Amino acid sequence: MVDLPNLVASAIENDRSNFSAAVLLSNNSRTVKRIREILPKKMRLVTLTSSSKVSDNLKELGFEVEVLEDSLSSQGLSVLNSLHDIILQGLGEGRFKSNDRILAIMGEPMDGVIVIEASTLASNKLAIMANEHDIEIEVLAKLMELARHIGGRGREGHAVGALFAIGSVPKLRRYTTALVLNPFKGHSDAKKSVSVQNNHETLAEFAWLDGAILFNSKGIASDAGRYVQVPAGINPKPGEGGRHLAARAISQLADSIAICVSSSGVITLYSKGRERYRVRLS
């Protein structure tokens, strides 16, 4: 049986560059308290737990806690995805710094420690998603740039949202309907490519229409103002708005990537019906 506190102490002692933060996965309050005693007082600790009871207990003691939707004990190695997603979200929201060296401590579902360089996470996550959908990473990066442009600028002084869906256009059209005449019809690919920086202002104008902009895997816009048909089997999650529900649904139905820009300044990426990446604009 692994002696987790001793393993953590050894990792800290042997680290020459110093960890700037620690993330602990555990459903045991006693384990969390023991690890906190071992860590340097100035080192930030974030605890990930799937137990609301543990969360409430630790928060009363002043611990920083994130509650996971899925049970820690049932996740197996997929818990690493939850760990990376939480750190990515923290990076986007400014709770972690891009140059942080993070000591990930796993108390469940297995014991161990992992060193995470925060600077490599975001680019790796986008690269993995792009590869899963056979999309060039440069195209996905440009779409994120467009999303930041829209979320950061708004329109006429007001915050606005937008929705992009990227994948097989025939599939995307199958699960959406046109709300307006397609403004991209008849225009050359060069005028509709997200990879061309000069097109971003035009794409932003069409993104503010109700509905989604559809892009193919090369980043060429095919349609704007498309309404996502959410079937009865896909239900909204607590607190989930219509645009996020539509993004999650189209990513699942069309096996695509969807990028949702909320009016509150949050950009969320969905893939195959799952939220995969979130960033809050500063």
The domain made up of 133-280 is a member of CATH 3.40.1700.10: yes
Query: What end-to-end distance do the CA atoms of the chain give, in Å?
Result: 44
Sequence-distant (6+) residues with CB within 8 A of 235 are none
pLDDT reported for residue 153: 66
Question: Which SS3 state, helix, strand or coil, does residue 124 take?
Answer: helix
Q: Are 143 and 166 in contact (CB under 8 A)?
A: yes
Q: In the chain, pLDDT over 90 holds for what percent of residues?
A: 51
Superfamily of domain 4-122: Pyruvate kinase, C-terminal domain (3.40.1380.20)
CB contact at 8 A, 280 and 94 = yes
What are the structure tokens assigned to 11, written together?
Answer: 């990792």
pLDDT reported for residue 166? 97
- ∠ CA 278-125-266, nearest 5°, is 10
- What was the pLDDT predicted at 108? 86
Task: Give 26's Cβ-side CA count (13 Å radius).
Answer: 28
Looking at residue 251, its pLDDT comes to 96
Bridging pattern class, strands 44-49 and 21-25: parallel
CA gap 84, 282 in Å, rounded: 21
- Could you state, in order of their start, the residue ranges of all structural domains in the chain? 4-122, 133-280
- What average pLDDT does the chain have? 87
Please tell me the pTM assigned to this model. Answer: 0.61
Does the structure show a pLDDT above 90 at 215? yes
Q: pLDDT tens-digit profile of 118-138?
A: 777 666 677 788 888 999 878
Do you know the residue count of the chain? 282
Range of lowest pLDDT (17-26, 63-72, 81-90): 81-90
State pLDDT tens for residues 146-205: 998 888 765 455 557 899 999 999 999 999 999 999 999 999 999 999 999 899 999 998
Average confidence (pLDDT) over 7-13: 90
